[in-house]
Structure 1
Amino acid sequence: MDYGHAVPEAQKAQAPGPASHHGAGPRAVPGPDPRMQWALTLFVMGSAIWTVRPLDLSGRGLVCGALLLVNCVALAARHLPEDRVSPRVALVWLTAGIVAAAALLGVSTSGSSYLFAYFLVGHIGFRLETRRALALAALCSVLCGGVLYFRLGSGHDLLPWTLGLTTGGPVVIGILNRSNRQAVRAAISAAESAERAARAEAKTAVLTERGRIARDVHDVLAHSLAGINMQLELADALIDTGDLDKVREANRKAHSMVKESLKQAQWTVHALREDSLPLVESLTAMVESSGHRDALTVTGTAREVPSRVTQNLLRIAQEALTNAARHAPGGDVRVELTYAAESMKLTVSNSPAIRKVTPGVGSGMGLIGMRERAALLGGTITAGPVVAGPHEGGWQVEAVIPG
């Protein structure tokens, strides 16, 4: 016997379907079948109408009929959704219901009127908080037990007065049902919170991956196209001078940069596929392709590092070399890779420009991208002018990566 009311149809409509995982309404709390609940209610009403006596239009029969109607209405009201009945109204309605049930038990001479008390008390435990539910259950036991004890009306000697005391017992079933429903609600709420957290984490992962791809695209397209554009502009300017050797040189460099762009595209594919690249060999090829032979110095014992460290260090070096070519054309460039016990340090420095700097506006994302890459590895980036040494007046980028 379940004294909990049915889940309202409005709540059932919110039950999770295929679209609920995309932010639909909250999930409904599972509950008893409403058809079964109504069947029980109608059974109690029908049994009372069939068995409770007297029922007529005069005297005691009229009072018995009126109390029977009140009991039926009070019992049917348990199917009202909780959000439509305030706790105060529920307390008044259920209190009036158990008083009417005890009164019907006293006025009737026979029948199953005691079923109203059992079912109402069970619903009291489901609908009200525990303290009030227990108080009303005790009141129902006292009223029904007192009615039967003092034998109000003939025929009550057929029922032991202790039966009235048992009418408060179903409150325990109602309280257990309410506790179970609250536990289910808590579990559903926790599951929804976990699902929201998982969606947020997945969204963050997507945004992180988009940022990574954006940096790679910036590294390949922005750098390569900027260098090729510089050489083509130089070749265009040299055509008017008639110096074909210099035009051919600029054209040769543009072709060389195109080839380098293809290689950079391959590196980008490797990075997106998480392929592992040899750091020293790849860095050597990158430095030489930028026109600076024997510019790389490796200090310490080279060791194998994770692919993500290799990929991000190569991108940082590429950004620094491109910036050196753009802002200090003709200047000397030095690249140092230092393996320490618990870290790696990459330093790219350049001397001041010895040729005219072609005016241009960068994307402004270079240094930001380098800092983001270093942060992904738990490292740091420092960049600033060189104040001493052979590259004084130039620029230096230093990346320190743990591991």
Structure 2
Amino acid sequence: MSYGLAVPTAETASCPGQLPPPPAAPRPVPGRDPRVQWALTMAVIVSGALTIRPMGVSGRGLVVAVLFVLNCAALLARGLPPGRIPPRAAVVWLSLGVLAAAALIGAGRSGTGYLFAFFLSGHIGYRLPARPALVLASACSLLCGGVLYFSIGGGHPLLPWAVGLTTGAPVLIGILNRVQHQAVEAALSAAESAERAARAEAQAAVLSERGRIARDVHDVLAHTLAGINMQLELADALLDTGDLEKVRAANDRAHSLVKESLKQAQWTVHALREDALPLVETLTAMLESSGHRDALTVRGTPVEVPARVTQNLLRIAQESLTNAARHAPGGAVRVELAFAASSTTLTIRNRPATRTVNAAGGSGMGLIGMRERVALLGGTLTAGPVTEGPDQGGWQVEAVIPR
């Protein structure tokens, strides 16, 4: 029997707002086909009804009939699930069944009444723990063997007393079945636990991917649209002054931002598809499109870094450049990319603003997004004002990504 695990993918994992999956149907007892159990039980009952004698409505026949009914009830109770009957109640039921089986062997003069003892003894091994099962099965053997040996009740004259002693032997088969079923149950439980863990892991992966997409959308849309909005507001304000040259310059800048947003959209597609981009060349193009030529300094020997590292460093640079344009317009920007043996470090530093721009407030998610990106790569990020040197009063962001 194989137990496969269906691991959900990003499309099939549960998402907020979706209805929970329907509860699983009750699990059948492994290895026990109820139809086979009922067929065997009915075969023993029908065989007993056709062969056990005497059976009637008076005298000894009435006693045999009552014992036959009690044995049938004890045997039919085998079909009840183990969890439905408390352990103590199961001991009482099986003990009474053993007494009824031994009494039927003693009262009946012919027939297959002994089959009730055999089947009941086997079920004792399955239903009860090993020690009480062996004790009760031994009692069944002694009772049935004693009834036949001492001819108590004038029992079956053709049935040897040794057969009565063997009625407890099927308890070993029952114990083996019980151990096997417990092992299968443990395997099923382990498989279900692994499946639940896989579902939780898949859902965590989906949520992580959603966070990544949200950061990319924020980087592409929020920054670019904010810049375009600033230029359009500036152009609208300049229209009242009649300075067409400045209006045209603001309009050209808005067009430039649109073109830049198209490039950023391409970068986002590359990021979502995990396509590799050349880090140094792409960072240089980003700086030039932002109006910061010759602002990049590369230290160490450039090496190829994983696609995830490249994409996240480019996003951090983009975020920092956008923040510099918004909060320190006109200030010079310097970017340093350092390749070391154990890490790759990206530093973006801007000087204080040289002109005043009525910039709209940011979303507040930029720095959070940068920290999340670096954390996913196992690195560290520091961000804060520059307190000394020629860039004093400006802002610096430094991301260190280990190799």
User: CA offset at residue 165 of structure 1?
Assistant: 1.2
- SS of 1:178 mapped into structure 2: helix
CA distance in structure 2 between the partners assigned to 1:210 and 1:29 by the alignment: 41
Give the aligned residue type for 2:24.
Answer: G
How big is each residue's C-alpha offset from its partner over 1:319-372, in whole Å with a ceiling of 9 and x where there is no partner? 000000000011111111111111111111111111113142211110011011
Give yes or no for contact 2:95–2:136 (8 Å, CA) kept in 1: yes
The equivalent of 1:398 in structure 2 is: 398
SS at match of 2:277: coil
Aligned partners of 1:29 and 1:184 also within 8 Å: no
**Secondary structure at 2:345 match in 1:** strand
Distance in 2 (CA, whole Å) between partners of 1:130 and 1:211 is 55
**Are the structure 2 counterparts of residues 155 and 126 from structure 1 closer, same or farther at C-alpha, using a change threshold of 3 Å?**
closer
Q: 1:24 is matched with which residue?
A: 23
Q: Matched residues in 2 for 1:42 and 1:266: separation?
A: 73
Q: Which residue of 1 aligns with 2:131?
A: 131
Cα separation, 2, equivalents of 1:183 and 1:370: 50
Q: Is the 8 A contact 1:300 1:339 kept in 2?
A: yes
The equivalent residue for 1:252 is: 252
2:266 corresponds to: 266
2:324 matched to which residue of 1?
Answer: 324
Q: Alignment identity in percent?
A: 71
Question: Once the 2 structures are TM-superposed, how far is the Cα of residue 282 of structure 1 from its aligned partner?
Answer: 0.6
How far is the alpha carbon of 1:261 from its aligned partner? 0.9
- Superposition map of 1:2-401 within 5 A: 22=21, 24-25=23-24, 27-154=27-154, 156-401=156-401
Structure 2 residue identity aligned to 1:289: S
- After superposition, give the CA deviation of every residue in 1:72-110 in whole Å (9 maximum; x if it has no partner): 121122122333322222111110010011111112222
User: Structure 1 residues 341 and 32, CA, compared in 2 at 3 Å: closer, same or farther?
Assistant: closer
- State the SS of the aligned residue for 1:158: coil
* 1:190-245 Cα deviation digits (max 9, x unpaired): 12111111111111111111111111111111111111111111122222222222
**Which of 24-33 and 233-242 deviates more?**
24-33
Aligned letter for 2:40? L
Q: Secondary structure of 1:360's partner?
A: coil
- The 8 Å contact of residues 109 and 153 in structure 1, kept in 2 or not, is answered as no
The range that moved more, 34-43 or 366-375, is 34-43
| Structure 2 unaligned regions, length at least 5 | 1-5, 7-11, 15-20
SS in 2 for 1:396: strand
Equivalent residues of 1:141, 1:164 under 8 A apart: yes
Q: After the TM superposition, which of the residue ranges 60-69 and 381-390 deviates more from structure 2? A: 60-69
Task: Measure, in 2, the Cα distance between the counterparts of 1:271 and 1:364.
Answer: 22
| Aligned 8 A contact 2:105 2:155 in 1 | no
For 2:267 and 2:343, the matched residues in 1 are separated by 24
Structure 1 residue runs of 5 or longer lacking an equivalent are: 1-15
| Shift of residue 161, structure 1, vs aligned partner | 1.6
* 1:130–1:244 Cα change, 3 Å: same
Per-residue deviation, 1:157: 5.0
1:159–1:222: structure 2 CA closer, same or farther, 3 Å change rule? same
Q: Which residue of 1 aligns with 2:9?
A: none
Q: Counterpart of 1:8?
A: none
Per the normalisation by structure 1, the TM-score is: 0.91
Q: 297-306 or 312-321, which moves further after superposition?
A: 297-306
1:126-149: per-residue Cα shift (whole Å, max 9, x none)? 112222211110110111111112
Report how many residues are paired: 385
C-alpha spacing 1:248/1:56, structure 2 compared with 1 (3 Å): closer
2:213 aligned partner, one-letter code: I
Q: CA deviation at 1:302?
A: 0.8
Superposed CA deviations along residues 147-185 of structure 1, whole A, max 9, x for unmatched, are 112122446553322211111011111112222222222
Give the aligned residue type for 1:192: E
8 Å contact from structure 2 (residues 344, 401) kept in 1: yes
Letter in 2 for 1:171: V
Bigger Cα displacement from structure 2, 198-207 vs 94-103: 198-207
Partner of 1:112: helix, strand, or coil? coil
CA contact (8 A) 1:109 1:154 kept: yes
Once the 2 structures are TM-superposed, how far is the Cα of residue 380 of structure 1 from its aligned partner?
Answer: 1.0
**Native 8 Å contact 2:107 2:156 kept in 1:** no
2:23 counterpart letter in structure 1: A
Aligned residue identity for 2:39: A
